Structure formats: C-alpha cells, structure tokens
Amino acid sequence: MNLPVVQACLLAEADLQRIRRAADYVRAHDTDQVLAELLPDLTAEERADVSRHLVFDHTAVLVFPATLDGLCEELRERGLEPGEMTPSVVVRGRLARRYGAVVGESPVGIVHVAVEGRSVEVFALPVPPDSPLEAVVADERAAGHESHHAFALTSPGPVVPAGLRTLLQERGGAVSDGGGHNAHENVTVLYFRTRTHQRFELRLPGRHAPLPDPAVSLLGVMTGAWATQAVATMAELHIADHLADTPGMDADTLAKLTDTHPDALRRLLRYLSTLGLLTSADGTYHLTAAGQPLRTGTDFSLHPLALLYGGLFYDSFAGLTHSVRTGEEAFAHRYGRHHFTYLAEHPELGDLFHRAMAASTEMFAPVPHLLDFTDVHKVIDVGGGNGELLGRVLRAHAHVEGVLLEQEGALEAARSNLADVTARCTFSPGDFTKAVPPGGDVYLLSRVLHDWDDERCLTILRRCAEAMRPGAQLLLVERLLPDREGTPAPAVAWDVHMLCNVGGRERNENHYRGLLEEAGFEFRGCDALPLGGSLIHAVRATP
C-alpha cells in the first residue's frame, strides 16, 4: 500500500521507525515470550503462574516531534492508529529528574497506537528546532531510558500486586526503577530493570503504594553504619534483657536501669523500632522476634556478634578502600597485625571473637544428622575453635571419638566447652598448614577455608588429604556465594568482610569443588544450613 506523503513532518524518520519496530514486536510476542525474554531466571511454571495475573499490554518508546500539535494526525497519515493524547505525569517527572532545568516545564504527551488488541505507547517530548533539548534527544536515543514493555494487572486487590513484586524481584532478579500514579488514567505504573538491562512496567489500576524513591533507598544504605552502632549500643546496654524480663517498659524506667539519659534513650528506642528490633505502644517498648537474639544467656544469642561488629570490625571497615585498592586486608593496615595475631595479643578481644563465633553456631545444628555416622569411629575437627561443632557430633553419636586440632591458646576454651565428652575427645595442639592428625573416618573443616586465599586453602586441604585414607569423608561448613551476580545472599556481604578483616574470601560451590578436586578429593554434594550456611560433602579420592 502506498502511503500519502506528509508535507510537514513532525517526527524524524528514526522516531517513526522506532514506533514501527515496536509495533512489530507487539504483534510477534505473547505474555509468556516477553516474560521469558525479560526474566530468564523464572522457570516455565513460574512464568505460567505470573501470566495468570498479568497480560502483555504494550511496548513503549519515547519520540521527539517538533510539537505535540498535529502529532496524532501525522501518525494516522503514516498508516498508524493512534488514540487520544493525554499528558504524562510519570515520564515527564523522570525526565526532569534525569536532566534537570533543561527539561523545565516541557510537556510530555502519551498516545497509544493500536496494534492487534495491544498497543505501542508513544511518549512524546516536543523539541523545537535549535532547542537545548537536542542534547536530551541524543542521550535518550542512544540509551533508550524510557523504552520498556508493559504488563497490565488482571487480578484486582492489593495482595496479588504485592506478591508479584516480590516474585519478580527475588526470583526474577528485577530491580525497582521508579514509577508513580497517573491521575489522568487513574493507574499506578511501577518500573523495573532486569538482569538483561531491559525495562518493564507493571500497570496497576487505581492508586497503589509507590516503589521506594531511589535517592531515599540510597540514603538508607549510606546510613547503615548508624544501624550497626545502634544495635551495638542496644547490646551494650542489655536493652533486650531488660525488655525480656519486663515487657512493656517505658523509656524513663529503662533509662534508670541502664544509667542513660531518658530523652536520648527514647530517641535510640525510636530508631531501633524503625529497624524492626522493637515495637512501641502508648510509650512502652517490646522486643520483636528480630530483637530477641540480642538477649544474653540464650541459645544462639547474637549479643557478642553485635558488640564485635559495632567495635573491632566496625573500625576495621574504615580501611575498606585500602583493601579494594590493594587487595590487602584493612585490619592489618589499621592495626599493624594480622587479624588472628592481633586477637592473640589482646585476650579480651580474642575472648569476644570466640564468643561471637559461637553465637552463630545455630549453623551447626543439622550437621550431625546430615551424614550417616553408623560406621564412623573417629571424627577429626581441623581448626575447630572451641569445639562447638565437634561437641554436637559427639553428643549426637555416643560411639564416636573425636580429635580437636587447634592452636594451644584456643584449646583451653575447647576443653571447657567439651567437658561433658572429654572422655571421648583428644585435644591436639598444632598448625593445620603443616600437619593434620591421621586415622579419622570423618574430617571437619568448619568456617576455616574462607579465612584464606586459594593457595593457602589448597595447602590446608592437601594436609588433610595426606592424613586421610581413600574413602574417608571431609565435611566443609561455609557460606556459599550465589552463582549469579546480583543475587541477594548473606555470603555476598561476608565476602567483603573477609577481604577487609582477614584477607580471605567466600566462594561459590563450583569454586570449592575445584579446590577440592585439585587437592585430591571427590565432591559429593551440598546441603543448606541455617544462617545462610552450607555443608559441602567430599571424600578422599584414591591417589
């Protein structure tokens, strides 16, 4: 079909072609196909479930006519089917935030071009000749900031949108990218970016809670150090213990018990409430489930960790830039000693460190039950600290004997911790980089390898392999990095902590598999543990 020639073109040919390409995309794709392209991490079953609540609605492009007047007529003359033009609130606001005063009060229009039951959503920013907005045009055409695919919600109510947002972000890897309510259409638009560097939009009828403002979210991240110190102060003042003993205490009473300034304490309590550690009602305060682990004298109390993270480790993180620049540990840079040497020279801090490590031993609870110990007679815990993991194994399996290999300074605490199983336990002072006791059926390496670089890890694993007969089993307890970049996991933060404080690193499963195989082991499997931990199972290969 020959289309009429338009005499006064408002749209550049490049913009017209972008609209046509978007229309071709809309014709060629259904909801499942668009989801698969945008969010490849979702399984087919997850995409099918999402498609029950969302439908692919349109593809959006931003164009730059000389004026908005007559744009719809020009589109019709080009053989397209535009609807009526309405003002864009959300996109105009995004452009204003991105480019500032140069955008000024420039209007942005929206017109939907019909495409076989769907549409191309055309955003139009008028750019007269010789306008300072030409710089915006060049940047937007190159980057495509406002191009996206859109899904319309088909399930009413607040529950489904909340669930979809969680699924798309946690499983699909989408990251929020702004949005807002458009009163002209009475629709809330929520934008997301994907791992594939594309954008999509959820269109929710009516007014819904907006996504967090990116700048406000950044401020929350930047003030994370304040939260660390607030939690450390809560631990130092034993606030959790006081509120556990007397729930519903007011700030004045708590101030007397903690010898603190009532108004200053009240301000701290208010902040702790926003962190989810307390709740408040009628001027009284209660512990939440998240605040409970800060109590002392309880199983798996995190009280020592709060003091350590707010003290020694907090200070060492001030040297993180040094670590990132050099690859060296910030701790040694700031304190003049390696982490472990410094703790050995300062017994009070060493004691806090060992208590802090014991605080996260909830991770060990399933380990004695994830391996068949029926034919196991001797378990050797290599670098086992105070013997917490070995003690759990010995208490769960009365026929098993244990050997704890540690430096002499750590064995004193271990003897006390294992007093009830001393008859079945040998305490062996030594250095696991030089030699490991032979004759074990099972060897344990719990949170040891992450303290060291790959070369030292291989040394430790080879010392273990030298001591083990073929078929003897090795159990590693570590936090594993996720395989995909950007996936939230506790080990990601701990990896930076290891860089900063001990010069070690966290690793993913394949990294450990490679180290094990190079040292003479066969990788057998991996089990999840509490607190983001994992149990890696390997056996000594036949040399």
* Residues classed as catalytic: 450
Among the listed residues 22, 257, 230, 245, the one whose alpha carbon sits nearest the alpha carbon of residue 122: 22
Q: Which two tokens stand for residue 295?
A: 């109590």
Kindly give the pairing relationship between strand 473-479 and strand 533-540.
antiparallel
Positive or negative torsion for Cα 266, 219, 176, 154: positive
Q: Which two tokens stand for residue 456?
A: 């030292």
Write out the DSSP string of 347-367.
Answer: HHHHHHHHHHHHHTGGGGTTG
Q: How far apart are CA 98 and CA 65, in angstroms?
A: 20
Burial of 264-296, coded b for 16+ CB within 10 Å and e otherwise, reads ebbebbebbbeeebbebeeebbebeeebebbbe
Q: Which amino acid is at 199?
A: R
What length does the chain have?
Answer: 543
Q: Which two tokens stand for residue 190?
A: 């929520």
Radius of gyration of the chain (CA): 30
Q: How far apart are CA 404 and CA 397, in angstroms?
A: 16
Which ranges of 387-537 would DSSP assign to H, the alpha helix?
A: 388-396, 408-417, 454-467, 490-501, 509-519
Q: Could you tell me which residues come within 8 angstroms of residue 280 by beta carbon, excluding any fewer than 6 positions away?
A: 269, 270, 273, 286
Positive or negative torsion for Cα 188, 193, 194, 198: positive
In the DSSP assignment, the letter for residue 147 is -
Helix/strand/coil for 434: coil
Q: Could you tell me which residues come within 8 angstroms of residue 105 by beta carbon, excluding any fewer than 6 positions away?
A: none
